[in-house]
Amino acid sequence: MSGNANAAASAGPWWLALIVIAAGAAIVAGAVGWLPLRPSPGVPRWVGAAAGMVFVLGGVAVAMPARASRGKDAIGAALVTLLTAVGAWVAFWPGPRSFSSSVSAGGATVGGSGNEWIGRIAFGFGAILCGAFAAFLWKRVLFPPRDDAPPPMP
């Protein structure tokens, strides 16, 4: 196997990367007004653009070869940072939010409107976890571990 074929084999399927990037780009284009897609009333355009960029970055990460670990780390850190921003907007920014909930068992589903505070708490918890993980990833990107460093003492 040649070097180029080996590198291509270690990357994800290019067609999947293109589909995910295209879907994210369409969401971003709608959020900024380039396509006739509009976020729900009360949702800032940046929230839609951030959500779309999560897909764009995910597609780029799929397309990258495995050996590009530093690049994948940076893309992962940016992706998790965007997820943090969207979750934090849902949880902490003022304004009404509406949630729905459902329960399924044995083919039967019961659903209805959810409690705003339970939804905000769930998104807040997720945003805090994502923020902590993003900080860890950015630390890894900005201060990568040295390969020649001695192992830590037990």
The whole-number pLDDT of residue 148 equals 66
- Rounded CA-CA distance 121/56 in Å is 28
- Identify the three-state secondary structure at position 104: strand
Longest dimension (CA), the chain: 59
Range list of β-strands (E), 19-87: none
The whole-number pLDDT of residue 4 equals 53
HSE (CB half, 13 Å, CA atoms) of 135? 5
> Domain limits of the chain?
9-95+113-142
- Structure tokens that stand for 84 in this block: 């943090």
Per-residue pLDDT of the chain (154 residues; tens, 9 = 90+): 444 555 455 667 889 999 999 999 999 999 999 999 877 888 999 999 999 999 999 999 999 887 878 889 999 999 999 999 999 999 999 988 888 888 888 888 888 888 899 999 999 999 999 999 999 999 999 998 777 666 677 6
pTM of the model: 0.79
Torsion of CA 147, 149, 153, 154, to 10 degrees: 0
Query: What backbone phi and psi angles, to 5 degrees, belong to 77?
Result: -65, -45
